[in-house]
Amino acid sequence: MPGLKLVVITGLSGAGKSHALKCFEDVGYFCVDNLPPALLPTFVELCHQQGGEIKNVALGIDIRERVFFADLTGILQRIKDLGHSVELLFLEARDPVLVRRFSESRRPHPLLPELPVLEGVRFEKERLAEIRAHADRIIDTSNLSVHDLRDLLSRHFSQELSARRLTISLITFGYKFGVPYDIDLLFDVRFLRNPYFVPDLKPLTGEDPRVRSYVLDDPDAKGFLDRLEQFFTYMIPLFERERRSYLNVGIGCTGGRHRSVVIAKRLHESFSSAGHHVTLSHRDLTKP
């Protein structure tokens, strides 16, 4: 079985380690933050035993774990000896930039919280000098925005990025039961005519062909779907350009049983026929 690709992310506090870890997550890496280095060999072995499901791993290592560099390098060498690929990524920034970032977040420096931030920055630089000297790749984030950092990492790890696809997750719901919290795009279809007020259709759901015909025969539904599909035809390439790994789309009606289900199923068919990876779930379909 091929070995894992392991990227260990470390560096100065405020240099962007958390953002970097999120970037790796977006391009398909299995990410863990602040795993104690002593557990690394066991963790890597567990990942390796998953039958190839986990191939790329990114780990955030924080100086606050107070691990001596000799211990970390020895552990990483043991992992390399097992046949795994290991890359040590070090993030840094200039002193004034780090001080400004801490000032903007109103946080003290984690190593010297009772002293001025600049003293903490300089102390941490001295403490991490040996780690920096042995890093496989050093990135200065002083002039990089969050988006710039993501683009830089994505280019460097382009092989993993090229295999990553945007997953569109459609979820239907009823407003009477509350709006889902993890939605990126939300569409309210309560303006469409409601099968709930048709006695023969009321006990059915949007999965029934009779309800589907009733909703889709509405001229407003046809116009809405035409414009919605045009919107997604324009937007999806932009989301993919931003290297999004997922897009959660909520479709809501009053009870989450009729109109939202019909519209979401139609979108699911449209996305699938266009070759997109799409999932569909109905949160409130079985609720009374």
Residue 92 has pLDDT above 70, yes or no: yes
Same-domain status, 177 and 109: no
Residue 35: exposure state from Cβ atoms within 10 A (0-12, 13-18, ≥19): middle
pTM: 0.56
Same-domain status, 91 and 123: yes
Residues 138-153 have a mean pLDDT of 84
Structural domain boundaries, residue 213: 167-282
Residue 199: exposure state from Cβ atoms within 10 A (0-12, 13-18, ≥19): exposed
CATH code for position 64: 3.40.50.300
pLDDT at 195: 95
Same-domain status, 63 and 200: no
Same-domain status, 145 and 72: yes
Q: Is residue 287 part of a domain?
A: no
Of 57-61, 169-173, 229-233, 244-248, minimum mean pLDDT range: 244-248
Same-domain status, 139 and 226: no
Same-domain status, 36 and 94: yes
Q: Is residue 71 part of a domain?
A: yes
pLDDT at 162: 47
Residues 6-18 have a mean pLDDT of 90
Same-domain status, 117 and 255: no
Same-domain status, 191 and 215: yes
Same-domain status, 68 and 192: no
Which of 110, 127, 162 lies at the terminal end of a domain, its last residue? 162
Residues 216-231 have a mean pLDDT of 95
Q: Is residue 260 part of a domain?
A: yes
H or E stretch covering 266:
helix 259-273
- Residue-by-residue DSSP string for 163-190: T--PEEEEEEEEGGG---SS-SEEEE-T
Q: Is residue 288 part of a domain?
A: no
Say if residues 90 and 16 touch (Cβ distance below 8 Å). Answer: no
Which of 98, 132, 162 lies at the terminal end of a domain, its last residue? 162
Which of 137, 162, 187 lies at the terminal end of a domain, its last residue? 162
- In the chain, pLDDT over 90 holds for what percent of residues? 39
For the chain, give the mean pLDDT: 86
Of 57-66, 121-130, 140-149, 194-203, minimum mean pLDDT range: 57-66
pLDDT at 161: 44
Residue 164 has pLDDT above 70, yes or no: no
Residues 197-210 have a mean pLDDT of 94
User: For the chain, how long is the longest CA-to-CA vector?
Assistant: 76
Same-domain status, 123 and 178: no
Q: Confidence class of residue 160 from pLDDT cuts 50, 70 and 90?
A: very low
Instruction: Work out how many domains the chain is built from and give that number.
Output: 2
Same-domain status, 146 and 26: yes
Residues 44-52 have a mean pLDDT of 76
Same-domain status, 117 and 71: yes
Q: Is residue 98 part of a domain?
A: yes
Q: Is residue 155 part of a domain?
A: yes
Say if residues 9 and 60 touch (Cβ distance below 8 Å). Answer: yes
Q: Confidence class of residue 269 from pLDDT cuts 50, 70 and 90?
A: very high
What the block records as the tokens of 223 is 């116009």
Residue 170 has pLDDT above 90, yes or no: yes
Backbone angles phi, psi at 110, to 5 degrees: -65, -25
pLDDT at 63: 63
Nearest by Cα to 263 from 220, 203, 202, 233: 220
Q: Is residue 230 part of a domain?
A: yes
Q: Is residue 78 part of a domain?
A: yes
